Structure 1
Amino acid sequence: MKRLDIVQRILEKPEYSRYTAKFVGQIFDGILEEISATLENGEDVKITGFGTFIVRKINDRPGRNPKTGEPVLIPAHHTVLFHPSRSLLKASGKPEKK
């Protein structure tokens, strides 16, 4: 599903039909910008009923250059993990991990 598909589905709901696609798209973009900015600051984002985006630090580690085979050091960096909420897991039909 793409951004435009999400905006269109929102507009199909009677309570949001009075808004324009441009307005709903701007709100959607604003939400994504805030989530991104919060994650860039190293903070986790919890959306009740949906899930939690967690910023995780990955330490540097040894690796290999796949072309030359010589050892290289893969530098430390951050990554984002997503843990779905129980209600999202239940709605998707996937079993919860315990």
Structure 2
Amino acid sequence: MTGTGKTVTRVDLCEAVYQKVGLSRTESSAFVELVLKEITDCLEKGETVKLSSFGSFMVRQKGQRIGRNPKTGTEVPISPRRVMVFKPSAILKQRINGQANGSMSNSDQAETD
């Protein structure tokens, strides 16, 4: 899957808050930074961040496993680590797939059940 849209940056988010909420550019920037910091802090503590109608950010623990160096074929241990996972909500899935509000296909319903 290749993305055809532009990449949205912090600056773009700050500008959107400035345009739509009416805060000053400085306040908009501080607001966006505060929200991102709160999300980051929660994830660092291992908490799940659930944004209604958007999705959930979760931290999962991955155990140690054996990997392979693709150039040499040598087995290399991959240490245990925490990874962040994003699970989109059913509403977000519908919107990005261009479906009308509330109408889910059978395959989408099976994924959310």
Smaller-chain TM-score range? Answer: 0.7 to 0.9
Output the CA distance in 1 between the equivalents of 2:88 and 2:25: 28
Structure 2 unmatched runs, 5+:
1-7, 99-104
How many Å apart are 1:69 and its aligned residue? 2.9
What secondary structure, in the 3-state scheme, does the structure 2 residue paired with 1:22 have? helix
Could you tell me which residue of structure 2 aligns to residue 2 of structure 1?
Answer: 9
Is 1:44 paired with 2:24? no
| Alignment of structure 1 residues 1-98 onto 2, 5 Å | 1-13=8-20, 16-17=21-22, 19-93=23-97, 96=108, 97-98=111-112
1:3 partner letter: R
1:14-35 deviation line (CA, Å, top 9, x unaligned): xx22x11111111111111111
Output the CA distance in 2 between the equivalents of 1:83 and 1:71: 32
1:4 partner letter: V
What secondary structure, in the 3-state scheme, does the structure 1 residue paired with 2:53 have? coil
**TM-score between both structures, scaled by the size of structure 1:** 0.83
Equivalent pairs, count: 95
1:45-75 deviation line (CA, Å, top 9, x unaligned): 1111211001111111011233443221100
